[in-house]
Amino acid sequence: METRATRFGLWTWTVLVVLFLYLPIAIIVVYAFNSSNIQSWPISGFTTKWFASTWHNREVREALVLSLKAALVATSIALVLGSAGAFAVSRFRFFGRETISFVFVLPLALPGIITGMALNSYFGFWGWQLSIWTIIVGHATFCVVIVYNNVIARLRRTSPSLVEASMDLGADGWQTFRFVTFPVISTALVSGALLAFALSFDEVIVTTFTAGAQNTLPLWIFGKIRLGQQLPQVNVVVAVIIALTVIPVYLAQRLSRESGILRRR
Amino acid sequence: MAAGADTAGRPSWAARRRLSAAFWRRGWLRGTFLLPPPLAWFALLYLTALVVLLISSFWRVDPFTTELVHDWNLDNFTRIFTEPVYRTIAVRTIGIAAAVTITDAIIAIPFAYFMARLASPRTRAALFVLVLLPLWASYLARVYAWRLILAKEGVLNWTLAQLGLPTVGIAYSNWAMWIVFSYVWLPFMILPVYAAMERIPDSYLEASTDLGAKGWRTTRSIVLPLAFPGIVAGSIFTFALTLGDYITPTLVGGASSQFIGNVVYSSVGIANNVPFAAAYAVVPLAVMGVYLLVARRLGAFEAM
């Protein structure tokens, strides 16, 4: 159909787009090894000394611990609420179902600044002090959406006859859940949890409004870049964060491709 | 003894099974137990927060005590519409969001076409992961990377100098914001456009060729109209995400590159004037509301 010239043109375009997507990421990783603390290109020499100094930076450590804690708790809440929502809404038509689906995706569809502001003024309204718990509430709200979407997509692809077969063969509800439903959705849960974790770990916009005086890792990075302080350490943190967020997403992608004991087609 | 245990176990087993079956057959019963927790979370924390936000945009802050005053007025909105600086900022935000959306569509369409129609299944799977990974790789990291690239002593100017071209000073400007936004949101455009293109049956393109249409004619009359819902779906992300951002303007924009988000952020964080921030945040909310209505008309929701 396409002429050879068109094919070649499209191929070149695709290669260029991939380069466009990855060159900035490669550059930031190179900067992490920059021996000078002046951020100019080309880097003046190769060193790993900033990795050690970043590791011993107390602020970075505290921010990392806070980020990990918040992401873990938010992901756990999201797993419970997201899968409960998905089970309730799937295979069950009722009045207001579409509205509920719409409400569940709202935190992702609305600009983050609106979610952040809304939560900020709401916490203020009740007189709640901003703490790790307010960060978690903000993160969990959009993490629920990720888990919900993953689980409901899997449930839609799963044939209900599997559960019926299990019950016909004499299994009770718990056994059916344990041996049929759970294995079917387990990879969707894991991939949803991984994505939720990555999203929470990286979130800045909502977090600036819910964190108060404390720093999560992204907030620490944002503050340092804005003030132009400790940039060599920022480079290291940023390079490490890229690795830390990319790995769970890569795993999640692999998990959602194969759907446990059920393969479609 | 064994028989007794058996008969004793029997009714409870049957009851459990009956209960399970009832739960399975009656969706509302399952819903009654499973829906309240997530629904309560969203209703009590999120939706109420949004409502409080909207209401507070009609309140004001006492300039002397910095206390919230709950008297209903439209002062915040009047200020937004009459003071030219807020109009300029709103127009800049919406304008750059539109420019970014168009740029991403132009970059994504040929790429998605190659991915969906020309690439082998293996290449397609690889490209899919290659597009997906940057989407999740830290947003801040990617914006910061561009700050280093566009800096006066950065990669861009170094490359231009090597090529014997004049250097450019686009760091901290609207140009920088346009480039960075187009970069960070590009995967959001590629994925839905790819999904739409993949669904176009081969036979349509063959029929078009058989009827004598040249490549460009087929693209314009078959591929683009069928991919359009995907483009609109992608544009929802690129547009909404740009509209609500204030990190990129802070990091790569210049002194006169404020976005709606920056004003909202400083109104909350520095001026402590939540009512005004809330009123200004209604602007992107309203723009997005209209955009989503139009997008639904254009069939974007089926393409997501």
Distance CA B32, CA B11 (A): 26
What number is the average pLDDT over the span B155-178? 86
At B7 the pLDDT is 46
Q: Which of residues 167-206 of B touch A (CB under 8 A)?
A: 183, 186-187, 190, 205-206
- By C-alpha distance, the chain A residue nearest B247 is A205
CB contact under 8 A, A14 and B114: yes
Contact status, residue A234 vs residue A224, Cβ threshold 8 Å: yes
Nearest to B34 among A42, A87, A249 (CB): A87
Digit-coded pLDDT (tens) for A65-109 = 999 999 999 999 999 999 888 888 776 666 677 777 777 777 877
Helix (H, G, I), strand (E, B) or coil at B195: helix
Q: What is the DSSP string of B59-94?
A: -EE-TTT--EE-----HHHHHHHHSHHHHHHHHHHH
CA dist., res. A171 & res. A105, Å (int): 35
CB contact under 8 A, A40 and B115: no
* Pairwise CB contact (< 8 Å): B46 & A218: no
Average pLDDT, chain B: 83
The upper half-sphere exposure of residue A62, i.e. CA atoms within 13 Å in the direction of its Cβ, equals 9
Work out the average pLDDT over B65-75. 75
Residue B1: pLDDT over 60: no
Give residue B3's pLDDT band: very low, low, confident or very high (50, 70, 90).
Answer: very low
pLDDT at B5 over 80: no
Q: Which residues of B touch A27 (CB under 8 A)?
A: 145, 148-149, 155
B81 interfaces chain A, CB cutoff of 8 Å: no
Taking CA–CA distances from A105, the nearest residue in chain B reads: B42
Distance set, CA A150 to CA A29, A202, B78, B170, B249 (Å): 31, 19, 44, 41, 32
Distance CA A176, CA B21 (A): 11
d(Cα A207, Cα A210) in Å, to the nearest integer? 5
The reply to whether omega before A42 is within 30° of 0 (cis) is yes
Query: Is ipTM strictly over 0.90?
Result: no
Residue among A87, A140, A245 minimizing CB distance to B137: A245
pLDDT in tens, A149-169: 888 888 877 777 887 888 788
d(CA B165, CA B160): 5
- What was the pLDDT predicted at A150? 84
- B28: nearest CB among A92, A113, A239: A92
Rounded to 5°, angle at Cα B116 from B113 and B121 = 140
d(CA A156, CA B41) in angstroms, rounded, equals 24
How confident is the model over B54-68, as pLDDT tens digits?
Answer: 888 888 777 777 677
d(C-alpha A82, C-alpha A148), whole Å:
4
Q: How far apart are CA A74 and CA B142, in angstroms?
A: 24
Token pair in block for residue B16: 């459990």
- Subunit contact B141:A41, Cβ cutoff 8 A: no
Dihedral class, residue B163 (left if φ above 0, else alpha if ψ from -120 to 50, else beta):
alpha
Instruction: Indicate the SS3 state at residue B136.
Output: helix
Cβ–Cβ gap B48/A20 under 8 Å: no
DSSP 8-state secondary structure symbol assigned to residue B107: H
Which residue bears the tokens 């004037």? Answer: B273
Cα–chain-centroid distance for residue A163? 31
Å from B143 to nearest chain A CA? 9
